[in-house]
Amino acid sequence: MAQKRLNIIPEGSSPIQEKFINCIMKQGKKSTAQRIFADAMEIIAAKGHKDPVRLFEKALETLKPTLEVKAKRIGGAVYQIPMEVKPGRQTTLSIRWLLGACRAKRNAPMAKKLADELILAVNGEGSAIKKRDDVIKMAQANKAFAHYAKY
């Protein structure tokens, strides 16, 4: 017997949702990626959150880094130079870290892992937040090399 599905995601999904679904997708299986995203939104709604789509957007906003390091070779030495992150790259990194954290977990369906990681990200916890904090700490630790950014 078919299970009744809640329609959490509106028909006209936002560009950020479409980008996220495309990043979930593997081997061109978009319908599977859409189902994973929809199931994750249903799990979040079942856990008592009123607006799972808003929670998703807030989680991505929380994960966006402000600084990152880029390796530059100057005079035979390689320096980790802190750089500000452009808005498009911020979104890309936040999606990459969120999905990486979900895929690293084992023994659960992807939708459940995604829902858990989104809730943790909003609360400032979880593997994706740790990754963001590590990148920012690395950039702050290498502020002494910021003057090399002009090269």
Residue 77, CB-side half-sphere exposure with 13 Å CA sphere = 5
Q: Would you say residue 103 has pLDDT above 90?
A: yes
Per-residue confidence (pLDDT) for residue 11, from 0 to 100? 59
Per-residue confidence (pLDDT) for residue 65, from 0 to 100? 95
Q: What is the pLDDT averaged over residues 19-31?
A: 95
| pLDDT tens string 105-141 | 999 999 999 999 999 999 999 999 999 999 999 999 9
What is 15-150's CATH number?
A: 1.10.455.10
- The per-residue pLDDT of the chain, averaged, comes to 91
List the chain domain ranges. 15-150
- In DSSP notation, 66-122 reads SEEEEEEEETTEEEEEEEEPPHHHHHHHHHHHHHHHHHH--SS-HHHHHHHHHHHHH
In angstroms, how far is CA 144 from the centroid of its own chain?
Answer: 29
Q: Which residue, among 35, 15, 9, has the nearest Cα to 24 in the 3D structure? A: 35
CB within 8 Å of 76: residues ≥ 6 apart: none
| pLDDT tens string 36-74 | 999 999 999 999 889 999 999 999 999 999 999 999 999
